[in-house]
């Protein structure tokens, strides 16, 4: 990600004029992408999503794109922006230069203009059983107490749990570009997110999906997914650790047991030495 924060194309001054070039597609008219260009006045802190809104509100109401949170947490606004898949709301136009080229996410179907169909991504995600799997069914059905997990144990998988399902990594992945069957970086990293969770005992069950053709071994460590990921999930790392788990088992020996909760506010003696959750970065 560090590279993207740089300013390769040279910044544009606020108050300047931005050329927004969008690959449009109207399912009722077009058979191929149709480029269209608009000029947009640059405002302080303007993101690509802001620029798209400016066009939609002031110049062309028919422009379609998808967004929700406009703050990089919902994963709705993935697009191909100046040669890389990025979140439109997470990309400032002054990182990009005076011409911003936007196209729908590669490796996906565009429904209209910049709206990609993420159904296949979600289906892949569901295929890897993205939830805690345990053998103590009774406790799962009607929990009596909580499962113990230390901050160190949390640190082993927490980065993978930041995934937005924005599908940028699938847009970057070379294997996904030819194979619809391949599970892809998002789902495989999520498989590892649960495999590495100390409360989980589902590696064997997930192996049925990931240890098969078009599973985890479709990854060849090209690393593009990790470069595209806007949340530091680093799916490539999760995928390689998943491969390792298939041979040596998950990082924990046995799934965590239920523990009685500590009294409210209780601190264990070692608590002071444990890593603290980082302060908010934004």
Partner 1 sequence: MRESRLWAFHLICGAGLLVLLSLHMGLMHYAGILALLGWVREPVLSFPSVVERGRGAAWAVMYVLLLGFALYHGLYGLRGVLGEIWDTPRAARFINAGVVTFGLAVLVYGVAVAVQAARL
Partner 2 sequence: MVAEAQTPVRTQVPSRLSMRLGLRGWVYAGRYPAERYLYILHRLCGLGLILYLPLHVWVTGRRLQGPEAWQQTMAILSRPVFVAGEILVLAAFVFHAINGFRLLFGHLGCALGRPEYPVYPYPVALHRQRRLTTALMVLAGAFLAAGVWGLLTK
98 vs 106, beta carbon nearer partner 1: 106
Rank residues 66 and 206 by Cβ distance to partner 1 and give the closer one.
206
For the bound state, the minimum distance from the C-beta of residue 64 to ligand FES, rounded and expressed in Å, comes to 14
Q: Which is nearer to ligand SF4, 40 or 189 (CB)?
A: 189
Q: How far apart are CA 132 and CA 138, in angstroms?
A: 14
Using CB under 6 A as the binding criterion, the count of chain residues that bind ligand HEM stands at 2
Our finding on whether 212 is near ligand FES (CB under 6 A) is: no
Q: Are 143 and 122 in contact (CB under 8 A)?
A: no
- By beta carbon distance, the residue nearest ligand HEM is 220
Residue 250 binding partner 2, by CB under 8 A? no
Write each residue from 154 to 183 as x if it is in contact with partner 1 (CB under 8 A), else as -, in one continuous string: ---------------------x--xxxxx-
Structure tokens at 10: 């040279």
What is the DSSP-derived secondary structure letter of residue 187? H
Residue 246, classed as helix, strand or coil, is: helix
As a whole number of angstroms, the distance between CA 113 and CA 34 comes to 9
Told to check if 236 binds partner 2 by CB under 8 A, we report yes
Q: Measure the CA–CA gap between 165 and 168, rounded to whole angstroms.
A: 8
- Residue identified by tokens 């444990």 is 274
Task: Give the Cα separation of 67 and 42 in Å (integer).
Answer: 20
Site string for ligand HEM, 219-238 (x = CB under 6 A): -xx-----------------
CB-nearer residue toward partner 2: 37 or 180:
180
Minimum distance, C-beta of residue 109 to partner 1, in the bound complex (Å): 17
Structural tokens at position 149 = 């997990």
48: enclosing H helix or E strand: helix 48-58
Q: Which is nearer to ligand HEM, 31 or 220 (CB)?
A: 220
The CB-of-84 to ligand SF4 minimum distance in angstroms stands at 11
Among 48, 37, 42, 46, smallest CA distance to 13 is for 42
Judged by the rule CB under 8 A, the positions of this chain that interact with partner 1 are 175, 178-182, 207, 211-215, 217-218, 243, 246-247
């Amino acid at each position: 990600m560090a590279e993207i924060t740089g300013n390769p194309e040279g910044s544009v001054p606020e108050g300047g004029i931005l050329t927004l070039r969008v690959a449009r597609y109207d399912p009722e008219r077009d058979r191929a992408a149709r480029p269209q260009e608009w000029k947009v006045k640059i405002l302080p802190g303007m993101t690509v999503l802001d620029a798209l809104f400016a066009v939609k509100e002031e110049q062309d109401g028919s422009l379609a794109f998808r967004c929700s949170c406009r703050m990089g947490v919902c994963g709705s606004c993935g697009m191909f922006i100046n040669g890389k898949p990025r979140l439109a709301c997470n990309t400032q136009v002054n990182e990009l230069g005076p011409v911003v080229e936007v196209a729908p996410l590669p490796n996906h179907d565009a429904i209209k203009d910049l709206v990609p169909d993420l159904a296949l991504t979600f289906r892949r995600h569901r295929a890897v059983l993205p939830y805690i799997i345990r053998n103590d069914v009774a406790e799962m059905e009607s929990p009596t107490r909580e499962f113990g997990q230390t901050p160190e144990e949390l640190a082993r998988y927490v980065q993978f749990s930041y995934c937005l399902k924005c599908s940028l990594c699938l847009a970057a992945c070379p294997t996904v570009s030819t194979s619809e069957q391949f599970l892809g970086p998002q789902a495989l990293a999520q498989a590892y997110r649960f495999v590495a969770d100390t409360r989980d005992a589902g590696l064997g069950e997930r192996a049925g999906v990931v240890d098969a053709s078009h599973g985890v071994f479709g990854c060849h460590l090209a690393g593009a997914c990790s470069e595209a990921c806007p949340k530091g999930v680093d799916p490539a790392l999760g995928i390689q650790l998943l491969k390792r788990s298939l041979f040596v088992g998950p990082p924990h020996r046995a799934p965590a047991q239920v523990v009685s909760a500590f009294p409210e506010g209780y601190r264990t003696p070692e608590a002071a030495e444990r890593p603290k959750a980082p302060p908010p970065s934004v």
